Structure 1
């Protein structure tokens, strides 16, 4: 299967390539972006290259999809969004995303996530899409609620990240 390209008014959602490493490093190297991410803040561009390889390997192994969110006007990758932990036998997957802070509060992630949710239900045959977020990540919570996700509860000390246990609030979206 070829990697699907999705398009919105302002964005092209496409497969990440090694050429995107510079754009990813620009924001993966910022503590504010990595605060709720399960990776340490990047310190060299090689880490961005590795994360691109990881996302593309997930696709090749039919375990997920991670789209580059490219701004049409600037031909610049401003974030990524997609699926991981795809359990085919349970018709469910987990969604994840991040965005360069220069582009926060401009509804880019809301614009990107809509066709990705449709793709999940229609093409990946998902029945359930999950998101696990830090309870303090209010922006992420607002995004998920705006897309119809329901908060299902908070799991205490659910992940071990950056040397400490952290809670995770789970959100779910069921196919209509």
Structure 2
């Protein structure tokens, strides 16, 4: 079975991006991301209502890193510390050598190739450093932009679950994409 160790925290670079640890100093941007109905449209979780809830989210991310159960990075452009988004591995399954990748980006940065660049680098990190065998992504079927990112990064559609999650008074479909180490 895999054992993850996220200490020291791995700072990751791509051509344009610096993926860094999210800290309490990023509370404004975390609030902006998690309180925005546009960025949260396909994430079945309540909107963050204030800085305290944003800080609680940061604390949850820290807890997962400290317990080696998941890891998230803040997406920044090299040379600019402003957080543009969050990307990471959630719902890790060490016994199955599998983890779920997830990401969100402030709307003003959509369509600039930031998410595919970050996802491609995390795929490499997941397979080489974490020794994963497979990476999955769970998306809403109507989230066409995310579907395009995943397809561009080599993911294939594995399943479409009908009304498999109940959230906010309605049943939601979910689509699973995955990528095997090859």
| Superposition CA RMSD, Å | 1.1
Q: Runs of 5+ in structure 1 lacking a partner?
A: none
Deviates further, 65-74 or 107-116: 65-74
1:162 offset after TM fit, Å? 2.4
Say whether residues 1:54 and 2:93 are aligned partners. Answer: no
| 1:5-154 equivalence runs, <5 A | 5-154=11-160
2:3 alignment counterpart: none
Per-residue deviation, 1:79: 0.3
CA drift of 1:69 comes to 0.5
The alignment partner of 2:38 has SS state of helix
Unmatched 5+ stretches in structure 2: 1-6
Q: Distance in 1 between matches of 2:167 and 2:55?
A: 21
- Offset at residue 111 of structure 1 (A): 1.2
Matched, 1:168 2:174: yes
Q: How many pairs align?
A: 176
Report the Cα offset of residue 152 of structure 1: 1.1
Specify the SS of the correspondent of 2:15: coil
Distance in 2, matches of 1:35 and 1:162, equals: 12
Q: For residues 32-76 of structure 1, what are the alpha-carbon distances to aligned partners after superposition, in whole Å with 9 as ceiling and x for unaligned?
A: 111111212222111211111111111111111101101224320
Distance 2:178 2:159 in 1: 10
- Calculate the TM-score normalised by the size of structure 2: 0.92
Contact 1:24 1:78 in 2 (8 A): no
